[in-house]
Amino acid sequence: MRTKPADGRGGTCFSLPAPDCGRVVARPRAWTVALLLAVVLPYAAGSATRPRYGGTLRVETHAPVETADPPQTGPGMPDLAPAFAITRWEAGRRAVYAADENAPGGRPFLDAVEVELARSPRDQGIDLDVGKADLIEIPPGEARRQPAGRRTWSSRPVRVLLLQFGTRVDDSRAREALALAVDRSAIFNVLLQRQGEISGALLPQWLSGYAFVFAAASDPAKARDLAAAIPASARSFSIGVEDAALRPIAERIALNAHDAGLAVWVAAQGGADVRLIELRIAAAEPERALAAVAAELGLPAPGRADSPGALYNAERGMLDGFRVVPLFHLADVYGVAARVKGGPGISPLGEWRFENLWLEAGRP
């Protein structure tokens, strides 16, 4: 529970979202203690300042949410409830949330949160520099290019970047050849600027504890051998990528594939033989997170996994046959304006937690 003094100054004010707390409490595990500590400690550090009421937090994202109604699931805007209630929705452009005076945890310090949608990373950076934005997304490749002194908030690696083969690529040797051809290290070092983690697993190491067991190293020689053994028609397929930010990664994968003797080209997402997609780890509980990933990929739900070994076997079963090839786990990284206080405003899972933030200038 969270309490606030009537004068608006912050007191002891850290909390976990009720649903997450419920999940953790319902099925406590020894290996999740570290996670709880990691969540709690930053909130405790942020409570040392004195908050103010008022002001509008200006957030910019690159996702063009085009739905007619505000999104109801996933990280970001939906996480603003119940402290904030949506008051304006312009699909693909803007969403405005107002503080809920009757929020269960008390009124948030901010009066409103204004989310600008579909802003390019470059524009977001400029807006943050000139003071037009308070909180912006930072792509992995740009994280190390931030100006000195800029504050950033990072989540745990909660997004898994993977290749998913469609049904047309039915020769497992072709799938394995591509999986072995991808040079994850080069992509990680250059395109991702060493942000996130190289991984051959669906669940990140911090969540499952066994991700390192899944092989992630490239083997160009074996990839060439596999490609040479399959018919020419099976060596040719397209990689679809929807997010323009991921296109360089797809192009690099196509280049690696070309070196292995595969004819791979980058195409629009629709109708592609292989998709380069990004999935978000939606739960802090590994079994539930794996089930959610399986559901997102259209794979059969993994069986009940009471132990890390069972969970590993379930994940191994999902990856057998190279229908799905995990590549990286990435963190959510946000650039934060200096006037934003009380952070971090995101949880380790990347969820927005703006109810404890306040702005230094306060209400004009």
Partner 1 sequence: MTFRTRLLLVFTLAVVASVGMVEWLVTRATREAFERVEGQRADVLAAQFQREFDRRGQEIVRAVKDIAVSDAAIAAAISPDESAYYNEASAMARAHGLGLLELVGGDGAIISSAEWPVRFGYKEAWLAASSGWNPGVAFLRREELPGGLTLALAAVETVNAGGRQLYVVGGQQLDQDFLATLVLPAGMRVLLYRNLEAQFASHLLTGSADSAADAQEFQPLIERLIREPRVHLAVLGSGAAAETVHAVPLTGSENNLLAVLLIASSRRDLVQLENSLARTGAGVAAGAIFIGILMAAWATARVTRPVRRLAESAGKVAAGNWDTTVEVTSQDEVGQLAQAFNRMTHELLEQRQRLLQTERVAAWRELARRLAHELKNPLFPLQITVENMQRARDSHPQEFDEVFREGSRTLLAELANLKQIIARFSDFAKMPAPAVQPANLNVLVGETMKLFEAQFAQAKVNARVELAPNLPTVSADPEQITRALRNLVLNAIDAMPEGGTLAVRTMPQGSGVRLEVCDSGKGLSHEECERLFTPYYTTKTHGTGLGLAIVQSVVSDHHGRVSVESQPGKGATFRIDLGDR
C-alpha dihedral over 215, 234, 160, 119, to 10 degrees?
150
Least Å distance, CB 248 to partner 1, is: 5
Least Å distance, CB 190 to partner 1, is: 4
Q: How far is residue 142's CA from residue 128's CA, in Å, rounded to a whole number?
A: 14
Q: Is 120 in the site for partner 1 (CB under 8 A)?
A: no
Pick the closer one to partner 1 by CB: 248 or 317: 248
Q: Strand 56-60 vs strand 135-137: parallel, antiparallel, or unpaired?
A: parallel
Least Å distance, CB 186 to partner 1, is: 5
Among 191, 314, 333, 359, binds partner 1 (CB under 8 A): 191
CB 199 within 8 Å of CB 162: no
Beta strands in the chain (DSSP E): 56-60, 84-90, 94-99, 112-116, 135-137, 151-165, 197-198, 236-241, 263-267, 274-280, 324-336, 340-341, 358-359
Q: Is 184 in the site for partner 1 (CB under 8 A)?
A: no
Q: How far is residue 136's CA from residue 116's CA, in Å, rounded to a whole number?
A: 10
Q: What is the DSSP letter of 104?
A: T
Q: Is 236 in the site for partner 1 (CB under 8 A)?
A: no
**Among the residue ranges 32-40, 186-194, 227-235, 336-344, the one whose residues contact partner 1 (CB under 8 A):** 186-194
Q: How far is residue 224's CA from residue 178's CA, in Å, rounded to a whole number?
A: 9
Least Å distance, CB 247 to partner 1, is: 9
Among 27, 144, 304, 363, binds partner 1 (CB under 8 A): 144
Pick the closer one to partner 1 by CB: 203 or 257: 257
Pick the closer one to partner 1 by CB: 156 or 252: 252
Least Å distance, CB 191 to partner 1, is: 7
Q: Is 193 in the site for partner 1 (CB under 8 A)?
A: yes
**Among the residue ranges 20-28, 190-198, 278-286, 326-334, the one whose residues contact partner 1 (CB under 8 A):** 190-198
Q: Identity (one letter) of the amino acid at 316?
A: R
Q: How far is residue 59's CA from residue 79's CA, in Å, rounded to a whole number?
A: 14
State the burial class of residue 235 (Cβ atoms within 10 Å of its Cβ: 0-12, 13-18, 19+).
Answer: buried
25 CB contacts (<8 Å, ≥6 apart)? none
Q: Is 190 in the site for partner 1 (CB under 8 A)?
A: yes
Three-state SS letters, 24-92: HHHCCCHHHHHHHHHHHHHHHHHCCCCCCCCCEEEEECCCCCCCCCCCCCCCCHHHHCCCEEEEEEECC
For the segment 250-269, give every residue that binds partner 1 (CB under 8 A).
Answer: 251-252, 255
**Among the residue ranges 5-13, 81-89, 248-256, 320-328, the one whose residues contact partner 1 (CB under 8 A):** 248-256
Pick the closer one to partner 1 by CB: 193 or 269: 193
Among 23, 107, 173, 194, binds partner 1 (CB under 8 A): 194
Q: Is 248 in the site for partner 1 (CB under 8 A)?
A: yes
Pick the closer one to partner 1 by CB: 95 or 191: 191
Q: Which residues bind partner 1 (CB under 8 A)?
A: 141, 144-145, 183, 186, 189-191, 193-194, 248, 251-252, 255
